[in-house]
Amino acid sequence: MRAIPIHNDILKLTANSVGLSLDSKASSLILLMQSIGQQKLLSALCHGSIFFSATLVSIGIPIAILLITDDWVIKDNAREALNFHINLYAYGILAGLLAATVIGIPIAMVIGIGLLICSWLFPILAIVKVIERPEQPYRYPFILRLL
């Protein structure tokens, strides 16, 4: 996994200039903190991508992160975000088809309102969970996992 570039050399020079020395344990701790920060950022970005737009453009962010990263937690979060997107689109198409019939209009309205609430609530919960526990991928409830 590629860490966010806060270079150890710069950190060591800064520490040496104020009279501190960084040993290998401190350096590895800094790298671990960078790794966890990257997990939080990319995982939250995957789940929050649904807020960028309601079109297929928002799917591009989790796909790009899935293809770029080597970290399994980030990949799992990207897959889960993609599954959530796919499920929302499928349920939206179902609501549209139901709305095309006279009998299905009330059902389509209920599905539409439910989708609207879920499309806001579940990603917010996912972002909070991946920030609280970056080492654990978030799983959306009530979705089909196609990827």
Asked if the model's pLDDT at residue 141 lies above 60, the reply is yes
Query: Is 33 a domain residue?
Result: yes
Give the model's pLDDT for residue 64: 92
Give the model's pLDDT for residue 80: 96
Estimate to the nearest angstrom the gap between the alpha carbon of 40 and the chain centroid: 8
Query: Is 91 a domain residue?
Result: yes
Asked if the model's pLDDT at residue 117 lies above 90, the reply is yes
Query: Is 145 a domain residue?
Result: no
Asked if the model's pLDDT at residue 43 lies above 60, the reply is yes
| DSSP conformation letters of 2-61 | PPP---HHHHHHHHHHTT----HHHHHHHHHHHHHHHHHHHHHHHHHGGGT-SSTHHHHH
Q: What residue type is assigned to position 98 of the chain?
A: L
Torsion 12-16-19-23 (CA) sign: positive
Q: What is the mean pLDDT of residues 60-65?
A: 92
Instruction: Name the residue range of residue 91's domain.
Output: 8-132
Of 32, 40, 34, give the one whose Cα is nearest residue 133.
40
Query: Is 143 a domain residue?
Result: no
Query: Is 44 a domain residue?
Result: yes
Count up the domains in the chain and report the number. Answer: 1
> Which tokens is 143 given?
């979705």
Query: Is 85 a domain residue?
Result: yes
Residue tagged 């599905």 (tokens): 111
Query: Is 1 a domain residue?
Result: no
Report the percentage of the chain scoring pLDDT > 70: 77
Query: Is 138 a domain residue?
Result: no
